[in-house]
């Protein structure tokens, strides 16, 4: 892709244009705001006309629930105020112009993050269409495992054959696993055999357990240069990129700050060894899917008009999901919202697929490249020996379980800007948990971290006033308080069901004109959400699963995350009650779980009767059962009393939840496979449901 021409450099490296639907978005904002204000007017009328304590309590609960939902909706509107789309022209960059690039890959546990996945990620970035003398790959092994290091060493021997093959055949998928999964031809047969041999060697180490398992909480530091550009060549005589294995020292006495601490260790090591001006951070399961991705990022970083303030270029996360994205793991709303963040020049940092300008993370840190000191800067005591700026004003920031969100937020508060680059061909593709319980456990960690930020001195309402616009702070407010809507959803999952069973009217009947307002707001809100998905190129099936998973998170992991965040803030008395921690999400999949996922069948991941019931699955079963009872009993009693018109809205609400809960009912009663909900959890859910309805009867609801 070498270009001589100065003519090309006279052309822009990227373009940006506003979303053509901006006018519609602003019209919708005005229209729906009027509807919300009208709804609150009706709530006030209801409160003033309350004749019983029960009706007043129901009305005030719905009022505050709708206030929270309205604030959440309003905080989402900055994303649609000025969304933008960008296009890059990487072919206009010459190799001579391209700066040095250090790639950081993070892994923590070889038994949860399989070494073959890690080495495929490393091989995919080693194969970038980028000047090899300007490319260095750092692997952070926070588990300090010999298994990971040996797997990487085996992979680097294979790389001497793989990288020339990619160049000679113009391979797009430079992860060998991904390439051989989708390509079978005679030209690749020899390389495929070499890959299988390498893979067998690595997997044999795991099966035979021939390598001593390292204590991931305590181990010495290791910095090892496995490949060096001016020393190592591939089979075609072409230089190989630098590859450095790093395992920082860990000691139980000193805090290690999880992934943020690992990234800061890589920052220090790389500054002493290669000190490239730009850094790519990658999760170990996020393979590169496009070899020209670094060039796309440099289209922004090398733009003189942006360079002074541009901290990072963020690429979206794409996952190998099934055709309907069963667990809503692609987070399409985040992709849509990133276009709005981009209009404010501040897309959030999502922890991976990010090209940083080193200066934005280490602007005040003088660096003298001395590789001999590499082991010292990854020592367990390095940050506590008077070097307290690390994690506060230097490097990746500490103080939250969502260190990625927190780091990007603080950089924006310091005046830095960012860019969202979303090319048609996915730049990176990764794996995601394929059991519901694992997905919800990850959701709880995000909920805890975001809630920590929301209720701290860094709250977006009051922090960052100097550099962040009101719209940007409102957008960050939306994410930091993102778990709070679970509170009204829990109310809506309990109160209408109880009320309709006891035939207490809490919504307008079909003869009341106010009925149309409630019905209209529900339908329009969901129609708009569906339209956003379709316009983003997704299917109605993916939208349905995404909205269902939003409801699932609202009644499971998000409330638990909020509770744990507050328990942590309460201090030593409650610290033993809180189980907050950074847990590595397992990327290991069982064959039967993988098959169920491909077929679009929910895997609740807790089928063993020996295990304690998962609180998330029990909670989910309780809400599903309550809505089923509310719909069936409420309908029967309304028909018997001739009051179907009085209870149409709560019955529609219960029916909507019942339709969403079909996979849950199936897993509770009919399924016999290992992905079902255990009978122990079903019994507990039935007991809790019966208890709630019994209590409601005692207070004469």
Q: Which of 109, 146, 404, 452 does the annotation list as catalytic?
A: 404
Q: Is 112 annotated as a binding residue?
A: yes
What is each CA distance from 23 to 18, 26, 310, in whole angstroms? Answer: 11, 5, 29
Q: How far is CA 640 from the centre of its chain?
A: 48
Backbone angles phi, psi at 130, to 5 degrees: -150, 145
Q: Which residue has the tokens 């999964």?
A: 181
The C-alpha atoms of residue 687 and residue 695 are separated, in whole angstroms, by 12
Rounded to the nearest 10 degrees, what angle do helices 332-343 and 514-535 cross at? 80
Q: CB-side exposure of 69: number of CA atoms within 13 Å?
A: 22
CB within 8 Å of 338: residues ≥ 6 apart: 314, 316, 347, 348, 420, 422
Q: Which residue has the tokens 């409601």?
A: 696
Q: How far is CA 193 from the centre of its chain?
A: 36
The C-alpha atoms of residue 565 and residue 445 are separated, in whole angstroms, by 10
Task: Decide: helix, strand or coil at residue 385.
Answer: coil
Q: Is 404 a catalytic residue?
A: yes
DSSP 404-426: HHHHHHHHHHTT-EEEE---SS-
Q: Is 142 annotated as a binding residue?
A: yes
Buried b (16+ CB within 10 A) or exposed e, 405-426: bbbbbbbbbeebbbbbbbbeeb
The C-alpha atoms of residue 278 and residue 312 are separated, in whole angstroms, by 9
Is residue 55 within a helix (H) or strand (E), and if so which, with residue range?
helix 53-76
Q: Is 283 annotated as a binding residue?
A: yes
The C-alpha atoms of residue 333 and residue 331 are separated, in whole angstroms, by 5
Q: Cα dihedral angle (579, 580, 584, 589), rounded to 10 degrees?
A: 50
Q: Is 259 annotated as a binding residue?
A: yes
Q: How far is CA 534 from the centre of its chain?
A: 21
Q: Using alpha carbons only, what angle is made at residue 553 by residues 550 and 554, rounded to the nearest 5 degrees? A: 85
The C-alpha atoms of residue 686 and residue 693 are separated, in whole angstroms, by 11
The tokens for 55 are 């009706």
Q: Which of 142, 342, 437, 603 does the annotation list as catalytic?
A: 142
Answer whether 39's CB lies under 8 Å from 517's CB: yes
DSSP 157-209: HHHHHHHHHHHHHT-S--SHHHHHHH---GGGHHHHHHHHHHHHHHHHHHHHT
Q: Is 142 a catalytic residue?
A: yes
Q: How far is CA 533 from the centre of its chain?
A: 18
Annotated binding-site ranges for UDP-alpha-D-glucose: 112-113, 142
List, as residue ranges, the binding site: 112-113, 142, 259, 283
Annotated catalytic residues are 142, 404
Name the binding residues for Mn(2+): 259, 283
């Amino acid at each position: 892709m070498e270009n001589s021409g100065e003519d090309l450099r006279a052309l822009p490296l990227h373009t940006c244009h506003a979303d053509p639907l901006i006018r519609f978005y602003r019209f919708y904002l005005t229209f729906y705001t009027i509807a919300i204000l009208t709804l609150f007017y009706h709530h006030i009328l209801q409160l003033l006309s309350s004749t019983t304590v029960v009706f007043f309590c129901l009305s005030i609960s719905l009022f505050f629930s709708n206030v929270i939902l309205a604030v959440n909706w309003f905080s989402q509107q900055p994303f649609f105020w000025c969304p933008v789309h960008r296009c890059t022209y990487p072919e206009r960059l010459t190799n001579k112009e391209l700066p040095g690039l250090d790639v950081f890959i993070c892994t923590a546990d070889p038994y949860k993050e399989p070494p073959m996945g890690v080495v495929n990620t490393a091989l995919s970035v080693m194969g970038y269409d980028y000047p090899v003398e300007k490319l260095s790959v750092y692997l952070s092994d926070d588990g300090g495992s010999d298994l990971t290091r040996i797997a990487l060493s085996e992979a680097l021997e294979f790389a001497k054959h793989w990288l020339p093959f990619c160049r000679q055949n113009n391979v797009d998928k430079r992860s060998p696993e991904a390439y051989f999964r989708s390509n079978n031809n005679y030209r690749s047969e020899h390389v495929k055999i070499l890959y299988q041999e390498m893979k067998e060697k690595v997997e044999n180490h795991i099966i035979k357990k021939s390598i001593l398992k390292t204590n991931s909480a305590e181990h010495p530091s290791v910095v090892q240069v496995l490949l060096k550009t001016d020393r190592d060549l591939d089979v075609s005589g072409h230089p190989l990129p630098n590859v450095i294995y790093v395992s920082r020292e860990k000691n139980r006495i000193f805090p290690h700050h999880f992934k943020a601490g690992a990234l800061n260790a890589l920052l220090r090591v790389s500054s002493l060894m290669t000190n490239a001006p730009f850094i790519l951070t990658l999760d170990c399961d996020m393979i590169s899917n496009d070899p020209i991705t670094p060039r796309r990022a440099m289209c922004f970083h090398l733009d003189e008009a942006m360079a002074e303030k541009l901290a990072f270029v963020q690429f979206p996360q794409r996952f190998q999901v099934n055709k309907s994205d069963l667990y809503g793991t692609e987070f399409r709303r985040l992709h849509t919202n990133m276009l709005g963040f981009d209009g404010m020049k501040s897309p959030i940092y999502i922890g991976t697929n990010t090209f940083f300008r080193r200066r934005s993370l280490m602007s005040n840190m003088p660096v003298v490249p001395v590789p001999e000191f590499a082991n010292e800067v990854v020592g367990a005591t390095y940050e506590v020996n008077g070097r307290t700026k690390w994690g506060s004003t230097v490097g990746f920031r500490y103080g939250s379980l969502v260190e990625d969100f927190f780091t990007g937020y603080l950089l924006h508060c310091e005046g830095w800007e960012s860019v969202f680059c979303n090319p048609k061909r996915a730049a990176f593709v990764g794996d995601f948990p394929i059991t519901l319980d694992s997905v919800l456990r990850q959701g709880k960690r995000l909920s805890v971290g975001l809630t920590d930020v929301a209720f701290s001195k860094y709250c977006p309402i009051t922090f960052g006033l100097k550099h962040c616009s009101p719209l940007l702070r409102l957008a960050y407010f939306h994410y930091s308080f993102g778990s709070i809507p679970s509170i009204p959803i829990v109310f809506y999952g309990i109160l209408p069901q109880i009320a309709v069973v006891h035939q207490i009217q809490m919504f307008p009947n079909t003869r009341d004109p106010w009925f149309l307002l409630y019905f209209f707001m529900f339908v329009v809100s969901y129609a708009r959400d569906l339209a956003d998905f379709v316009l983003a190129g997704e299917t109605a099936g993916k939208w349905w699963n995404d909205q269902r998973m939003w409801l699932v998170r609202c009644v499971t992991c998000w409330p638990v995350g909020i509770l744990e965040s507050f328990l942590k803030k309460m201090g030593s008395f409650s610290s033993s009650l809180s189980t907050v921690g950074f847990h590595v999400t397992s990327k290991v999949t069982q064959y039967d779980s993988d098959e169920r996922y491909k077929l679009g069948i929910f895997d609740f991941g807790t089928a063993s009767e020996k295990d304690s019931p998962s609180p998330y699955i029990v909670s989910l079963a309780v809400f599903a059962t309550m809505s089923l009872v509310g719909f069936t009993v409420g309908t029967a009693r309304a028909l018997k009393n001739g009051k179907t018109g009085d209870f149409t809205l709560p019955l529609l609400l219960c029916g909507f939840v019942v339709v969403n809960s079909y996979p849950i009912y199936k897993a509770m009663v009919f399924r016999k496979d290992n992905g079902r909900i255990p009978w122990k959890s079903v019994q507990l859910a039935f007991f809790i449901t019966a208890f709630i309805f019994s209590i409601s009867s005692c207070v004469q609801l």
